[in-house]
Amino acid sequence: MKKHLLYLLLLSCAALSAQKNTQELIDELTLDEKIYFLIGTGMEVPGLPEDSKPAMAVVGATKNEVAGAAGTSYAVPRLAIPAVVFADGPAGIRISPQRDTNPGQTFYATAFPTASSLSSTWNTGLAAQVGEAFGIEGRDYGVDFLLAPALNIHRNPLGGRNFEYYSEDPVLGGMITAGFVNGVQATGLGATIKHFVANNSETNRTALNTVVSERALREIYLRGFKIALDHSDPWAVMSSYNKINGTYASENEELLTQLLREEWGYQGFVMTDWFAGTDAVAQVKAGNDLLMPGTGAQFKALKAAVEAGELDEAIIDRNLTAILNTYQKTFAFKGYEPSGITDLEGHKAIARQAATEGMVLLKNEKESLPLVTGRKVALFGSASYETIAGGTGSGDVNKAYSISVLEGLKAANVKLDEQLLSDYEIYMKAERAKIPPKALFFLKDELVPEKSFSAAELNKLAETNDVAVFTLGRTSGEFQDRAEADDFLLTETEKELLTNLKRAFSGPGKSLVVVLNIGGVIETEFLKETADAILLAWQPGQEGGNAIADVLTGTVNPSGKLPVTFPVQLADVASSKNFPGSVLDPDAEKPANPLQGVPSEEIYEEGIYVGYRYFDSFEVPVSYPFGYGLSYTSFAYADLKVTETAEGVQLQFSITNTGKTAGKEIAQVYVAAPQTGLEKPAKELKAFAKTDLLNPAESETVTLTINRGDLASYDDEAHAWILEAGDYTFNIAASVTDLKLQTTVNQPEKVLRKTKALLTPKVSIPVFSKN
């Protein structure tokens, strides 16, 4: 009864706080309360130094508001200000499935496909649908802010957190982000776009200086954020761990105030990444409103700065205004009572659809796929039995279950070799028992090594089976980047097994299908030589096994396309020369605190030539190009019509299903700018669209509009966006290398739009050039 009365009191207090405007609340806060409001309530992490521990707040700690949430704000009961809850979640709401306050009840969240998978759908409407499901679960479980989506660039295949990011291209990443944010916030949950900006590697990320040109920042790393802001209105932005040209992002006034707020007009608030930066006073002055998860040392530093006259209380009030203006929109401030029950059944269907649409068919020879009913399948690979739903760290999800490829194929009534399944069951159990549990949740998962087979054993299996399906698994997570050996590259065990499988299943009516259950790019040249079909399933969430079975059996026609280039070899990637940076002092000791790194520097010498912009412009062969993906049907493009306006160019064309199976197609528009003045990539993605499901012989008219301003390039020396005069070639394409229709539009005069000189490098950066 007492607990119920306390809840009613808090509920009424929240309703009262919502009736006061922001300035009224600020006027009633004491200085201590104001400072507490600029920091979170802390996070208990083993091994943290004393100054990283939570503040002992007189206004009341709230870190247990929602068990497993990443952080909370301080509540001020005397002013009816409730706690606001922040939860991780690029692939699903990350909270604990149990709560001490609700014994016997579970709070599992849906594990959706990872960001690389979602971006492979090229479907902004589906991204919004997924985002809406996130929002509903957050609302029902008591969360106010989702610490997602993340839209940093896939600069290098070894980026440990690439699975959380969308693409190597800012247009695709920005538009998928906008769709997702709009879906989340339609439910009343706040979205946080992160990590702002150029947080593209994990090695020493909290002590890494990113040295990058203004042009590369503007055209590549900032652009996705600008697109997301233009097409959605995220409640919060999270600044990144790294330095940008010598200044921490969270302490960078040029980035957070002059560019984000003054130039771009952003009205939300900015929070740090967890334990980011070193100077709380500099962060607050820079316009980093909220310091998360909050520490006692930050409180002391901020109060001392105010008392010493080094920090004007007006700056604190400015930051509080940004925070409270947004907090007023939250469930907590509106007095919403979370039900603790959500639509997990409905959301698993969305997760399954998103997973199937994000799968990319890379190869399909000998009519290997879809699997013909009645054909018998020999299922190989540890990841077939322990299929990887997602990456680790803050991008992980506490889910109720995860469907393996084995379970999915069984549910689809595929005939499987039972003896092989039994052998694997014994093997997987024994090998998993040898792997100790992780010491901390954010550490990388350890996968069961591949089971070895002799050539004789495989030949015998081929006598009684028609198809070998081998699932190859990779995982990654926070705090460490991937390795080239035995990660980007196949292991010797994998290569030997695949070689022998190819020999055994190469006869008439036999085939080898490889499923890639991976979070980031791997080497595929060897696979192309051995496999008859390759399906890139990514890390497809908790419904992964069912979704993979849907595509393998033809229940769903694959329609995903690559959001990133697959190189022939790692050395071909332009950034490999300097990824993930170099330690400034080779003799420096690594800190005991796992959240801290060694001071390092990473020079972005490739400039704007990231991903396909490099491969395409410098004519470097690739294994699979950006935007590529096969289907069980075929499509034709026709009837291009071009309409020019003062604002831009409208393209209209038709896509027809010319095959025998219903399917969806993704049309991409790449523009080649005149090669005068500034050097430019050969062509760049400017727009895209995904059709509805088209039946055989059915057509759809696609209309895409490209603003002239989006055709401009950034000039470092003039500190301006420049639209050169000349002919712009618009290529309607099925991938960056598969051009279907073309038109040329003339820009009669040069247009220049000046900006401030912001985030300028302090050193000269060698520049890649085609000349």
**Separation between Cα atoms, residue 460 and residue 568, nearest integer Å:** 34
- Identify the CA nearest to 761 among candidates 310, 234, 243: 243
The answer to whether residues 75 and 82 touch, using CB atoms and an 8 Å cutoff, is yes
Contacts of residue 690, defined as CB under 8 A and 6 or more positions apart, other chains included, come to 121, 122, 123, 559, 664, 665, 666, 667
Contacts of residue 571, defined as CB under 8 A and 6 or more positions apart, other chains included, come to none
Strands 145-147 and 190-196: parallel
Collapsing DSSP states into helix, strand and coil, what is residue 545? helix
The answer to whether residues 55 and 303 touch, using CB atoms and an 8 Å cutoff, is no
Collapsing DSSP states into helix, strand and coil, what is residue 218? helix
The answer to whether residues 53 and 317 touch, using CB atoms and an 8 Å cutoff, is no
Question: Within 13 Å of residue 614, how many CA atoms lie on the same side as its CB?
Answer: 25
The answer to whether residues 154 and 538 touch, using CB atoms and an 8 Å cutoff, is no
**Separation between Cα atoms, residue 248 and residue 262, nearest integer Å:** 19
Q: What is the DSSP letter of 259?
A: I
For the packed helices 170-185 and 223-231, what is the interaxial angle rounded to 10 degrees?
40
- Identify the CA nearest to 522 among candidates 479, 565, 552: 565
The answer to whether residues 197 and 254 touch, using CB atoms and an 8 Å cutoff, is no
Residue 158: φ, ψ to 5°:
-85, 0
DSSP codes, 695-727:
PTT-EEEEEEEEEGGGG-EEETTTTEEEE-SEE
Q: Where is 582: in which H helix or E strand?
A: strand 582-583
Rounded to 5°, angle at Cα 163 from 161 and 168: 90
**Separation between Cα atoms, residue 45 and residue 60, nearest integer Å:** 20
* Residue 602 CA, distance from chain mean position: 21
* Residue 505 CA, distance from chain mean position: 37
- Identify the CA nearest to 137 among candidates 194, 204, 87, 67: 87
**Separation between Cα atoms, residue 648 and residue 631, nearest integer Å:** 32
Q: List the catalytic residues.
A: 273
Omega prior to 195 cis, within 30 of 0:
yes
- Identify the CA nearest to 527 among candidates 563, 566, 557, 556: 566
